[in-house]
């Protein structure tokens, strides 16, 4: 098996060398990495090109700045391996990450394999946890995801390339785009190989997309994802589970975060966006507990300070 690693890069010069070295240290050897430099303006470009000059397994493709989803699509279009792995350029990989995922994929004859992650501070080190048992074959991974038993970040998974045919990232979505992609992938009922381990080091740093405060733009992005998933699962019996699980999880997060916003245009627009989801039937009050249904009603329909 040959693995194509896709690594979008944008202005991460401080952490990039360490990430690249963790990929070079993989015990699994048959991989190549396409670094998609998404128009970096710091010295990330030079770091990437220097790495490619020293190790021919790396190729650098520089593009205009079009965002993470566009960079990933560029990588997908050029990936030539039997399997595809997405890696963020500020994180760290355990040396056995690719070997473990590849072995699980083959052993379980799966469409994708999954491994857990360990969160660590920006200037710290991850506390990896290696597997102590064989991977578990999962015939219905959708049920795990919708109950929040699996993370939705792309770097959890090694995908068979053929299992991703016809899929792409929505380039107009700049928040939780992983969720949209993964649930569309799960719509095909793929077979999963679940590895009980934490072999990916997820760096927690200020300024990353996921740590940007919630506001109108972010809430609009979440709403777009929920609307598109509703359309994707229309006529599918799993839509109810998606609404009761994933959508409830997302909206509770949005409401908690919006509680930190001051009164003003941004908060009013967030309320209107969520209210529109209820009005259009994307969200349903009956999917929430009575306490949360009442909280949602007040958030979506009434001003905080009348």
Q: Does residue 196 share a domain with residue 245?
A: no
Residues 167 and 224 in one domain: no
Residue carrying the six token digits 């649930």: 183
Average pLDDT over residues 80-91: 97
Those residues whose C-beta lies under 8 Å from the C-beta of residue 238, and which sit 6 or more positions away, are: 142, 146
Of 159, 193, 209, the one marking the end of a domain is 209
pTM of the complete model:
0.93
190 with 66, same domain?
yes
Q: Would 141 be classed as within a structural domain?
A: yes
Q: Is 118 helix (H, G, I), strand (E, B) or coil?
A: strand
Query: How many independent structural domains does the chain possess?
Result: 2
| Overall average pLDDT of the 135-162 stretch | 97
Q: Which residue has the higher pLDDT, 207 or 126?
A: 126
Residues 18, 108 within the same domain:
yes
Mean pLDDT across the chain? 93
Least confident of 3-12, 72-81, 205-214: 205-214
Q: Is residue 306 part of a domain?
A: no
With bands split at pLDDT 50, 70 and 90, how would you rate the model's confidence at 306?
very low
Confidence (pLDDT) at 263: 74
- Report the C-alpha gap between 122 and 211 in whole angstroms: 12
**231 in the same domain as 169:** no
Is the model's pLDDT at 171 over the cut of 80? yes
Q: Is residue 238 part of a domain?
A: yes
Phi and psi at 63, nearest 5°, equal -130, 170
Q: Do 189 and 227 belong to one domain?
A: no
Reported confidence tier of residue 185, pLDDT bands at 50, 70, 90: very high
For residues 205 and 217, state if they share a domain. no
pLDDT at 167: 97
Instruction: Specify the higher pLDDT residue, 303 or 105.
Output: 105
Residue 260: which pLDDT band, with cuts at 50, 70 and 90?
confident
Q: Which pLDDT does position 214 carry in this prediction?
A: 77
In whole angstroms, give the CA distance from residue 242 to residue 236.
10
- Asked if the structure places residue 259 within a domain, the reply is yes
Give the confidence band of 71 by pLDDT, cuts at 50, 70, 90. very high
256 within some domain: yes
Residue 201 placed within a domain: yes
Q: Do residues 151 and 86 lie in contact, with contact meaning Cβ atoms separated by under 8 Å?
A: no
Residue 46 sits in the same domain as residue 149? yes
Task: State residue 300's pLDDT score.
Answer: 87
Identify the three-state secondary structure at position 11: coil
Last residue of a domain, one of 157, 179, 209: 209
Q: Give the domain extent around 285.
A: 213-301
- Of 15 and 176, the structure prediction assigns the larger pLDDT to 15
Residues 27 and 134 in one domain: yes
Burial of 200 (0-12, 13-18, 19+ CB in 10 A): buried
Q: What is the pLDDT of residue 211?
A: 47
Q: Same structural domain for residues 218 and 294?
A: yes
Q: Which is higher by pLDDT, 186 or 217?
A: 186
- CATH number, position 31: 3.90.550.10
Mean pLDDT across 164-176:
93
Q: What is the pLDDT, as a whole number, of residue 242?
A: 97
Average pLDDT over residues 189-206: 94
Same domain membership, residue 230 and residue 137: no
The domain boundary, picked from 157, 186, 209, lies at 209
pLDDT in tens, 113-125: 999 999 999 999 9
Stretch 66-79: mean pLDDT: 96
The percent of residues above 70 in pLDDT, for the chain, comes to 95
Average pLDDT over residues 64-78: 96
Residues 44 and 115 reside in one and the same domain = yes
- Confidence class of residue 206 from pLDDT cuts 50, 70 and 90? low
Model pLDDT, residue 113: 98
More confident residue, 170 or 302: 170
The percent of residues in the chain predicted with pLDDT above 90, rounded, is 87
């Amino acid at each position: 098996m040959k693995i194509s690693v896709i690594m979008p890069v944008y202005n991460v010069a401080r952490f990039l060398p360490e990430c690249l070295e963790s990929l070079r240290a993989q015990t699994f050897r048959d991989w190549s990495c396409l670094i998609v430099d998404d128009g970096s303006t710091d010295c990330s470009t030079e770091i990437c090109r220097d790495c490619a000059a020293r190790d021919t397994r790396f190729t650098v493709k520089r593009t205009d700045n079009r965002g993470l989803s566009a960079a990933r699509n560029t990588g997908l279009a050029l990936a030539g391996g039997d399997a595809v792995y997405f890696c963020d350029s500020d994180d760290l990989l355990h040396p056995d990450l690719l070997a473990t995922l590849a072995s699980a994929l083959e052993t379980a004859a799966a469409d994708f394999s999954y491994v857990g992650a360990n969160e660590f501070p920006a200037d710290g080190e991850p506390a990896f946890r290696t597997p102590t048992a064989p991977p578990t074959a999962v015939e219905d991974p959708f049920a795990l995801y919708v109950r929040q038993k699996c993370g939705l970040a792309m770097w959890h998974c090694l995908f068979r390339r053929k299992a991703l045919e016809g899929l792409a990232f929505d380039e107009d979505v700049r928040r939780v785009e992983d969720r949209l992609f993964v649930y569309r992938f799960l719509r095909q009922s793929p077979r999963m190989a679940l590895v009980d381990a934490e072999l990916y080091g997820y760096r927690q740093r200020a300024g990353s997309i996921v740590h940007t405060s919630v506001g109108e733009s972010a809430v609009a992005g979440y709403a777009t994802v929920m609307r598109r998933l509703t359309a994707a699962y229309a006529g599918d019996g799993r839509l109810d589970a998606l609404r009761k699980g994933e959508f409830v999880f997302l909206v509770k997060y949005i409401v908690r975060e919006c509680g930190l916003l001051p009164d003003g245009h941004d908060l009013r627009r967030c309320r209107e966006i969520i209210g529109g989801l209820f009005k259009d039937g994307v969200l349903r009050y009956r999917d929430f507990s009575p306490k949360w249904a009442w909280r949602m009603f007040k958030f979506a329909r009434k001003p905080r300070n009348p």
